[in-house]
């Protein structure tokens, strides 16, 4: 028992490093790649509004719930449930999280590989002189190739594996604490360029003016699923990370800060992308390529664009890396603790299995793009089942666990650091945790699947 703890605790640095790790996990491709692309697919403003409501009413309470569970139990996700609710079936969300981690990292690694290709393209100045149609063709041509996207996926997964293995997370989290503010600055510069493009206001209206006639049950389910995805919720990542938090940490403040930062970056990414989408006549519902097609156009219209473009894709890859290590970590923790594997073997096995599962994802963008089941490719199915089914169900169980099983007294003791802090929000939190979050998740879920 003790050695296990030492091995795990060893991987993280200081208290600040842990907060950086949580933010690093949350901010990633979800904010900059997925949020704009699904906002485009599901019609803009109304989708964004539902997403923001999901973040506030469901996401934030679940962030705090995962923090309460993890810091109280001081264990990995499954161990935490077993410790807090011995002899019950409450560990089931932990098992679901394991499966979801496999599925998410499989397609995450593929998209992260694209960012490496685009970094390479940026360095070799491949976007210069290309018009929007050329850039669209360039993206389509790249992802439909057989070997090249898989090559970059393997490189990215290798990096993820290496960081988890070498136990240098402290280092990368420190680096990302420096680098993520730089990414934020670049996004803000991009925002300024984008909103001053001719025709930009149409993009802002698309993003912020809700048109409820475009909102479908499927769109709402995606907004909910994305709230989980973006905040790294429902899978035990935050339980695991918060088990390393100090007993002096203010859990509620940390939860609010991480949620605001994560949501803010997603919105800023949307503000950089949609004005440009309309200015350059790109289809908002273009799908997973939206960011990769749109932003090179913007960089070309900027002084110093060559330089900013390189920096942007480099930092996007780093942001993806601080997220991917948090996903792999969940799997490795299970393998080490449940299957009693050595950390090294567990990491290499998990990363290899996930990389192999990612290959059909990559192929489904090209040679297998016609292989569909109910209109979804393999890539779409992995994302759908993991993000829109497993994460919401996991989140539902997690929040219900805190609301109903732990209950008010134990929760209060944990969020107030045994009475040190005030928690005036507690009645509201318990209400959200017991009723609002579970009920809303259940309704959106059933409605989105067409069952309600
Ligand atoms: N939140 C990350 C992003 O937005 C992805 C991620 C990391 C994640 N860990 C997770 C998603 C756990 C779901 C569950 O890119």
pLDDT in tens, 229-260: 999 999 999 998 888 888 888 999 999 999 99
Instruction: Please report the pLDDT score of residue 16 as a whole number.
Output: 65
Tokens standing for 215? Answer: 């909102």
Low-confidence ranges of the chain (pLDDT < 50): 1-12
CA 216, chain centre distance (Å) = 23
Q: Verify whether ligand 1 is closer than 6 Å to residue 327 (CB atom).
A: yes
pLDDT digits (tens, 9 = 90+) for 361-414: 999 988 888 878 888 889 899 999 999 999 999 999 999 999 999 999 999 999
What residues form DSSP beta bridges with 376?
Answer: 373
Report the residue among 21, 28, 173 best suited for mutation to probe ligand 1: largest number of ligand atoms under 8 A from its CB. Answer: 28
Given a contact cutoff of 8 angstroms between Cβ atoms, the answer to whether 91 and 82 are in contact is yes
Distance between Cα 225 and ligand 1 center (Å): 11
pTM, 2 dp:
0.92
Counting from 1 in the atom list of ligand 1, the atom nearest the Cα of 262 is 4
CA 291 to chain centre: 16
Task: Count the residues in the chain.
Answer: 452
Q: Whose CA is nearest to atom 9 of ligand 1?
A: 232
Q: Distance between CA 51 and CA 55 in Å, rounded?
A: 6
349 phi/psi in degrees, rounded to 5:
-65, -50
- In whole angstroms, give the CA distance from residue 416 to residue 273: 41
Please name the residues in contact with 436: beta carbons below 8 A apart, sequence gap of 6 or more: 57, 58, 61
Which run of H or of E encompasses 42?
A: none
Tokens read off for 355: 């990389």
H or E element that contains 305: helix 305-338
Measured CA to CA, the distance from residue 340 to residue 439 in angstroms comes to 38
| Whole-number Å distance between alpha carbons of 434 and 156 | 40
Cα 235 to averaged position of ligand 1 atoms, centre (Å)? 9
| Sign of the alpha-carbon torsion through 320, 448, 269, 115 | positive
Residues 130, 250: Cα–Cα separation, whole Å? 50
75: left (phi over 0), alpha (psi -120 to 50) or beta: beta
- Which residue puts its alpha carbon closest to atom 10 of ligand 1? 232
Instruction: Tell the residue number behind the tokens 């992802």, with chain if given.
Output: 143
Ligand 1: which of 164, 233, 235, 354 to mutate, most ligand atoms within 8 Å of CB? 235
Nearest alpha-carbon partner for 45 in 199, 188, 191, 202: 202
Find the helix packing angle between 60-73 and 77-84, rounded to 10°.
Answer: 70
Residue 371 tokens read as 């292989």
- 281 burial (CB, 10 Å; 0-12 / 13-18 / 19+) is exposed
The CA distance from 349 to 128, in Å, is 41
CA nearest to 390, candidates 221, 143, 177: 221
CB 250 within 8 A of CB 62: no
Q: What are phi and psi of 221, to 5 degrees?
A: -65, -40
Tens of pLDDT, residues 87-111: 999 999 988 999 999 999 999 999 9
Measured in whole angstroms, the distance separating CA 242 from the mean position of its chain's CA atoms is 17
Residue having the nearest C-alpha atom to atom 6 of ligand 1: 232
Interacting residues of 196 by C-beta distance below 8 A, sequence separation 6+: none
How much distance in Å is there from the Cα of 240 to the middle of ligand 1? Answer: 13
Q: Where are the alpha helices (DSSP H) in 211-304?
A: 217-230, 237-242, 251-279, 290-300
Atom nearest to 237 CA in ligand 1: 12
How many Å apart are CA 446 and CA 444, to the nearest integer? 6
* 420 backbone dihedrals φ, ψ, rounded to 5°: -70, -35
For residues 138 and 170, the answer to whether their CB atoms sit within 8 Å is no
């Amino acid at each position: 028992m003790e050695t296990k703890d030492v091995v795990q605790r060893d991987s993280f640095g200081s208290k600040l490093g842990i907060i950086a790790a949580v933010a690093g996990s949350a901010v990633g491709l979800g904010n900059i790649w997925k949020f704009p692309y699904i906002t485009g697919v599901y019609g803009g403003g109304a989708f964004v509004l539902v997403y923001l409501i999901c973040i506030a009413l469901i996401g934030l309470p679940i962030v705090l719930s995962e923090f309460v569970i993890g810091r109280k139990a001081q264990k990995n996700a499954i161990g935490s449930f077993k410790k807090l609710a011995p002899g019950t079936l409450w560990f089931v969300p932990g098992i679901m999280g394991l499966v979801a981690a496999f599925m998410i990292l499989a397609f995450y690694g593929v998209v992260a590989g694209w960012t490496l290709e685009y970094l390479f393209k940026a360095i070799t100045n491949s976007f210069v002189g290309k018009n929007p149609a050329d850039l669209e063709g360039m993206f389509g041509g790249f992802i439909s190739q057989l070997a090249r996207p898989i090559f970059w996926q393997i490189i990215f997964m290798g990096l993820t594996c290496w960081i988890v293995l070498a136990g240098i997370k402290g280092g990368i989290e420190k680096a990302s604490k420096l680098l993520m503010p730089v990414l934020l600055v670049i996004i803000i510069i991009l925002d300024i360029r984008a909103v001053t493009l001719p025709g930009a206001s149409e993009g802002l209206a698309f993003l912020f003016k809700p048109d409820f006639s475009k909102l479908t049950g499927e769109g709402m389910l995606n907004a909910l699923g994305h709230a989980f995805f973006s905040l790294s919720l429902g899978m035990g990542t935050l339980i695991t990370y918060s088990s390393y938090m100090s007993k002096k940490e203010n859990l509620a403040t940390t939860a609010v800060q991480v949620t605001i930062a994560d949501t803010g970056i997603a919105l800023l990414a949307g503000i950089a992308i949609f004005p440009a989408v309309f200015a350059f006549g790109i289809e908002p519902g273009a799908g997973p390529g939206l960011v990769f097609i749109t932003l090179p156009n913007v960089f070309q219209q900027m002084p110093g664009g060559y330089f900013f473009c390189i920096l942007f894709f480099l930092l996007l890859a780093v942001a993806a890396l601080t997220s991917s290590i948090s996903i792999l970590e969940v799997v490795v923790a299970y393998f080490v603790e449940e299957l009693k594997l050595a950390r090294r073997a567990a990491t290499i096995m998990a990363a290899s299995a996930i990389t192999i599962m990612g290959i059909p994802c990559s192929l489904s963008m090209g040679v297998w793009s016609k292989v569909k089941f109910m209109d979804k490719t393999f890539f779409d199915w992995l994302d759908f089942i993991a993000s829109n089914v497993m994460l919401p169900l996991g989140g539902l169980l997690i929040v219900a666990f805190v609301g109903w099983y732990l209950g008010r007294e134990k929760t209060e003791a944990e969020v107030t650091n045994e009475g040190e802090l005030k928690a005036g929000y507690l009645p509201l939190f318990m209400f959200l945790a017991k009723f609002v979050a579970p009920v809303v998740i259940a309704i959106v879920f059933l409605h989105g699947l067409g069952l309600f």
